[in-house]
Amino acid sequence: MRKPLIAGNWKMNLLYSKVPHYMETLSVELKKANWSKQAVEVLLAAPFPFLGLSRELGEKLGFFVAAQNIHEKADGAYTGEVSIPMLKDLGIQWTLIGHSERRQYFNETDTQVASKSKFALQQGIRPIICIGETRAERESGKTNEVLENQLLPVLEAVQGFDDFVLAYEPVWAIGTGLTASDEQAQDAHAYIRALLAKSNKAWGEKVRILYGGSVKSTNIKGLMSQSDIDGALVGGASLDPLEFSRIVTYGSSH
Ligand code: PGA
Protein backbone atom coordinates (compact mmCIF):
# COMPACT_ATOMS: atom_id res chain seq x y z
CA MET A 1 0.00 0.00 0.00
CA ARG A 2 1.48 3.36 -1.02
CA LYS A 3 0.94 6.14 1.50
CA PRO A 4 -0.44 9.28 -0.21
CA LEU A 5 1.82 12.33 -0.31
CA ILE A 6 0.44 15.82 -0.84
CA ALA A 7 3.25 18.23 -1.66
CA GLY A 8 3.04 22.01 -1.96
CA ASN A 9 5.48 23.83 -4.21
CA TRP A 10 5.75 27.48 -3.25
CA LYS A 11 8.04 28.21 -6.22
CA MET A 12 9.45 31.79 -5.95
CA ASN A 13 6.55 33.05 -3.80
CA LEU A 14 5.74 34.04 -0.21
CA LEU A 15 8.19 35.69 2.20
CA TYR A 16 10.31 34.40 5.07
CA SER A 17 8.32 36.55 7.50
CA LYS A 18 5.07 34.87 6.39
CA VAL A 19 6.27 31.30 6.96
CA PRO A 20 5.36 30.97 10.69
CA HIS A 21 1.78 32.16 10.09
CA TYR A 22 1.43 29.86 7.09
CA MET A 23 2.65 26.82 9.01
CA GLU A 24 0.49 27.60 12.03
CA THR A 25 -2.64 28.11 9.93
CA LEU A 26 -2.06 24.90 8.00
CA SER A 27 -1.48 22.97 11.21
CA VAL A 28 -4.63 24.35 12.91
CA GLU A 29 -6.79 23.58 9.86
CA LEU A 30 -5.41 20.07 9.52
CA LYS A 31 -5.97 19.40 13.22
CA LYS A 32 -9.60 20.48 12.83
CA ALA A 33 -9.90 17.97 10.01
CA ASN A 34 -8.29 15.19 12.11
CA TRP A 35 -5.31 14.94 9.79
CA SER A 36 -2.87 12.18 10.65
CA LYS A 37 0.50 11.89 9.01
CA GLN A 38 0.10 8.14 9.31
CA ALA A 39 -2.62 8.38 6.66
CA VAL A 40 -1.21 11.05 4.35
CA GLU A 41 2.15 12.79 4.28
CA VAL A 42 2.38 16.55 3.78
CA LEU A 43 5.43 18.20 2.26
CA LEU A 44 6.27 21.80 1.41
CA ALA A 45 8.91 22.72 -1.17
CA ALA A 46 10.19 26.10 0.00
CA PRO A 47 12.64 28.62 -1.48
CA PHE A 48 16.23 28.22 -0.21
CA PRO A 49 16.23 31.17 2.24
CA PHE A 50 13.16 29.74 4.04
CA LEU A 51 14.39 26.18 4.34
CA GLY A 52 15.98 26.30 7.80
CA LEU A 53 12.97 27.97 9.41
CA SER A 54 10.45 25.88 7.43
CA ARG A 55 12.19 22.68 8.47
CA GLU A 56 12.21 23.67 12.16
CA LEU A 57 8.53 24.60 12.15
CA GLY A 58 7.52 21.82 9.77
CA GLU A 59 9.19 19.18 11.92
CA LYS A 60 7.21 20.27 15.01
CA LEU A 61 3.96 20.23 13.08
CA GLY A 62 4.56 16.94 11.26
CA PHE A 63 5.28 18.24 7.72
CA PHE A 64 8.24 17.41 5.51
CA VAL A 65 10.14 20.25 3.88
CA ALA A 66 11.92 20.03 0.53
CA ALA A 67 14.26 22.13 -1.55
CA GLN A 68 13.02 22.99 -5.05
CA ASN A 69 16.33 22.22 -6.74
CA ILE A 70 19.86 21.05 -5.97
CA HIS A 71 23.24 21.28 -7.63
CA GLU A 72 24.76 18.04 -8.85
CA LYS A 73 28.16 18.68 -7.26
CA ALA A 74 28.92 18.49 -3.55
CA ASP A 75 30.89 21.77 -3.45
CA GLY A 76 33.10 24.05 -5.50
CA ALA A 77 33.18 27.24 -7.53
CA TYR A 78 29.54 27.39 -8.64
CA THR A 79 28.50 30.90 -7.70
CA GLY A 80 24.86 31.18 -6.76
CA GLU A 81 24.22 27.46 -6.37
CA VAL A 82 23.24 25.39 -3.32
CA SER A 83 24.64 21.93 -2.60
CA ILE A 84 23.15 18.84 -1.01
CA PRO A 85 25.59 18.88 1.94
CA MET A 86 24.40 22.42 2.70
CA LEU A 87 20.79 21.25 2.65
CA LYS A 88 21.54 18.23 4.80
CA ASP A 89 23.28 20.50 7.28
CA LEU A 90 19.94 22.34 7.62
CA GLY A 91 18.17 19.03 8.21
CA ILE A 92 16.52 18.91 4.77
CA GLN A 93 15.76 15.39 3.53
CA TRP A 94 13.80 16.01 0.33
CA THR A 95 14.17 17.91 -2.93
CA LEU A 96 12.25 18.44 -6.15
CA ILE A 97 14.28 17.62 -9.25
CA GLY A 98 13.58 18.44 -12.89
CA HIS A 99 10.50 20.60 -12.43
CA SER A 100 9.32 21.73 -15.87
CA GLU A 101 10.16 25.35 -14.97
CA ARG A 102 13.76 24.25 -14.35
CA ARG A 103 13.77 22.46 -17.69
CA GLN A 104 12.11 25.37 -19.53
CA TYR A 105 13.83 28.43 -18.02
CA PHE A 106 17.15 26.98 -16.84
CA ASN A 107 17.70 24.47 -19.64
CA GLU A 108 17.91 21.40 -17.43
CA THR A 109 18.31 18.31 -19.56
CA ASP A 110 17.07 14.74 -19.03
CA THR A 111 20.71 13.76 -18.42
CA GLN A 112 21.14 16.39 -15.70
CA VAL A 113 17.86 15.39 -14.09
CA ALA A 114 19.08 11.78 -14.03
CA SER A 115 22.47 12.65 -12.54
CA LYS A 116 20.97 14.98 -9.93
CA SER A 117 18.50 12.25 -8.95
CA LYS A 118 21.29 9.73 -8.48
CA PHE A 119 23.45 12.16 -6.54
CA ALA A 120 20.55 13.06 -4.23
CA LEU A 121 19.87 9.40 -3.45
CA GLN A 122 23.56 8.67 -2.90
CA GLN A 123 23.64 11.53 -0.41
CA GLY A 124 20.51 10.35 1.40
CA ILE A 125 18.11 12.99 0.05
CA ARG A 126 14.77 11.82 -1.36
CA PRO A 127 14.03 13.31 -4.77
CA ILE A 128 10.60 14.06 -6.22
CA ILE A 129 11.46 13.77 -9.89
CA CYS A 130 9.15 15.67 -12.26
CA ILE A 131 8.26 14.68 -15.82
CA GLY A 132 5.54 15.74 -18.23
CA GLU A 133 4.70 16.66 -21.81
CA THR A 134 3.96 20.05 -23.37
CA ARG A 135 0.67 20.83 -25.05
CA ALA A 136 2.21 20.47 -28.53
CA GLU A 137 3.63 17.06 -27.59
CA ARG A 138 0.24 15.88 -26.30
CA GLU A 139 -1.58 17.20 -29.36
CA SER A 140 0.80 15.39 -31.68
CA GLY A 141 0.23 12.11 -29.83
CA LYS A 142 3.72 12.00 -28.33
CA THR A 143 2.86 11.95 -24.61
CA ASN A 144 4.05 8.42 -23.91
CA GLU A 145 7.20 8.86 -25.98
CA VAL A 146 8.10 12.06 -24.09
CA LEU A 147 7.45 10.44 -20.70
CA GLU A 148 9.61 7.50 -21.67
CA ASN A 149 12.45 9.72 -22.93
CA GLN A 150 12.41 11.74 -19.71
CA LEU A 151 12.04 8.79 -17.38
CA LEU A 152 14.37 6.10 -18.76
CA PRO A 153 17.66 7.96 -18.08
CA VAL A 154 16.44 8.58 -14.52
CA LEU A 155 15.50 4.94 -13.95
CA GLU A 156 18.85 3.81 -15.25
CA ALA A 157 20.66 6.26 -12.96
CA VAL A 158 18.76 5.32 -9.80
CA GLN A 159 19.14 1.53 -10.00
CA GLY A 160 19.79 0.18 -6.52
CA PHE A 161 17.66 2.85 -4.82
CA ASP A 162 13.94 2.93 -4.19
CA ASP A 163 13.37 5.96 -2.01
CA PHE A 164 12.24 8.31 -4.74
CA VAL A 165 8.91 9.77 -5.83
CA LEU A 166 7.84 10.69 -9.36
CA ALA A 167 5.56 13.58 -10.27
CA TYR A 168 3.64 13.57 -13.53
CA GLU A 169 3.08 17.22 -14.38
CA PRO A 170 1.73 17.93 -17.85
CA VAL A 171 3.31 21.28 -18.71
CA TRP A 172 0.07 22.53 -20.29
CA ALA A 173 -1.72 22.10 -16.96
CA ILE A 174 0.83 23.92 -14.77
CA GLY A 175 -0.40 27.30 -13.59
CA THR A 176 -2.97 27.45 -16.40
CA GLY A 177 -6.12 26.38 -14.58
CA LEU A 178 -6.37 23.51 -17.09
CA THR A 179 -6.19 20.23 -15.17
CA ALA A 180 -5.74 16.91 -16.90
CA SER A 181 -9.00 14.97 -16.64
CA ASP A 182 -8.98 12.13 -14.12
CA GLU A 183 -8.76 9.69 -17.05
CA GLN A 184 -5.91 11.55 -18.82
CA ALA A 185 -3.96 11.65 -15.56
CA GLN A 186 -4.66 8.00 -14.75
CA ASP A 187 -3.60 6.91 -18.27
CA ALA A 188 -0.27 8.72 -17.94
CA HIS A 189 0.27 7.39 -14.41
CA ALA A 190 -0.49 3.83 -15.50
CA TYR A 191 2.01 4.20 -18.32
CA ILE A 192 4.66 5.56 -15.95
CA ARG A 193 3.97 2.73 -13.50
CA ALA A 194 4.40 0.18 -16.27
CA LEU A 195 7.78 1.73 -17.15
CA LEU A 196 8.77 1.57 -13.49
CA ALA A 197 7.72 -2.07 -13.19
CA LYS A 198 9.51 -2.99 -16.40
CA SER A 199 12.78 -1.56 -15.01
CA ASN A 200 12.33 -3.05 -11.56
CA LYS A 201 9.29 -5.03 -10.40
CA ALA A 202 9.43 -3.69 -6.83
CA TRP A 203 9.37 -0.08 -8.09
CA GLY A 204 6.06 -0.72 -9.81
CA GLU A 205 4.51 -1.56 -6.45
CA LYS A 206 6.35 0.83 -4.21
CA VAL A 207 7.16 4.09 -5.98
CA ARG A 208 4.62 6.86 -5.51
CA ILE A 209 3.53 8.89 -8.51
CA LEU A 210 2.08 12.33 -7.78
CA TYR A 211 -0.07 14.31 -10.20
CA GLY A 212 0.67 18.04 -10.64
CA GLY A 213 -0.94 20.75 -12.72
CA SER A 214 -3.68 23.10 -11.43
CA VAL A 215 -4.65 20.83 -8.53
CA LYS A 216 -7.30 22.46 -6.32
CA SER A 217 -9.68 21.41 -3.57
CA THR A 218 -12.35 20.98 -6.26
CA ASN A 219 -10.47 18.42 -8.36
CA ILE A 220 -8.30 16.54 -5.85
CA LYS A 221 -10.88 13.88 -4.95
CA GLY A 222 -11.39 12.71 -8.52
CA LEU A 223 -7.65 12.61 -9.15
CA MET A 224 -6.91 10.75 -5.91
CA SER A 225 -9.59 8.16 -6.64
CA GLN A 226 -7.53 6.91 -9.61
CA SER A 227 -5.63 3.74 -8.83
CA ASP A 228 -2.20 4.95 -9.96
CA ILE A 229 -2.33 8.46 -8.47
CA ASP A 230 -0.65 8.50 -5.06
CA GLY A 231 -0.80 12.18 -4.27
CA ALA A 232 -0.36 15.63 -5.72
CA LEU A 233 2.23 18.31 -6.33
CA VAL A 234 0.39 21.58 -5.82
CA GLY A 235 1.75 24.95 -6.96
CA GLY A 236 -0.56 27.98 -6.92
CA ALA A 237 -3.15 26.45 -4.60
CA SER A 238 -0.49 25.65 -1.98
CA LEU A 239 0.15 29.37 -1.38
CA ASP A 240 -3.06 29.64 0.62
CA PRO A 241 -2.84 27.42 3.72
CA LEU A 242 -6.64 27.18 3.94
CA GLU A 243 -6.97 25.90 0.38
CA PHE A 244 -3.93 23.64 0.81
CA SER A 245 -5.41 22.16 3.99
CA ARG A 246 -8.61 21.36 2.08
CA ILE A 247 -6.56 19.65 -0.64
CA VAL A 248 -4.76 17.55 1.99
CA THR A 249 -8.03 16.72 3.75
CA TYR A 250 -9.99 15.82 0.60
CA GLY A 251 -6.97 13.97 -0.77
CA SER A 252 -6.85 11.80 2.37
CA SER A 253 -10.46 10.75 2.21
CA HIS A 254 -10.46 9.06 -1.18
P1 PGA B 1 0.18 24.59 -10.30
O2 PGA B 1 1.71 24.13 -10.29
O3 PGA B 1 -0.52 23.79 -9.24
O4 PGA B 1 0.19 26.06 -10.01
O5 PGA B 1 -0.36 24.28 -11.66
C6 PGA B 1 2.07 22.79 -10.11
C7 PGA B 1 3.59 22.67 -10.14
O8 PGA B 1 4.21 23.36 -10.95
O9 PGA B 1 4.19 21.89 -9.37
Q: Which of 215, 219, 239, 240 to mutate to test the pocket of ligand 1 (most atoms within 8 A of CB)?
A: 215
Strand partners, 96: 128
Ligand 1 centre and the CA of 211: distance in Å?
10
pLDDT over 90 at 220, yes or no: yes
DSSP 184-225: HHHHHHHHHHHHHHHH-HHHHHH--EEEESS--TTTHHHHHT
pTM above 0.95, yes or no: yes
CB atoms within 10 A of CB 115: 17
Q: What is the pLDDT of residue 178?
A: 85
Over residues 223-248, the pLDDT tens digits come to 999 999 999 999 999 999 999 999 99
Ligand 1 centre and the CA of 210: distance in Å?
12
Over residues 194-208, the pLDDT tens digits come to 999 999 999 999 999
Q: Report the alpha-carbon distance of residue 225 to residue 106 in Å, rounded.
A: 34
Q: Report the alpha-carbon distance of residue 37 to residue 236 in Å, rounded.
A: 23
User: Whose Cα sits closest to atom 1 in ligand 1?
Assistant: 235
Our measurement of the distance from residue 155's CA atom to the centroid of its chain's CA atoms, rounded to an integer in Å, reads 17
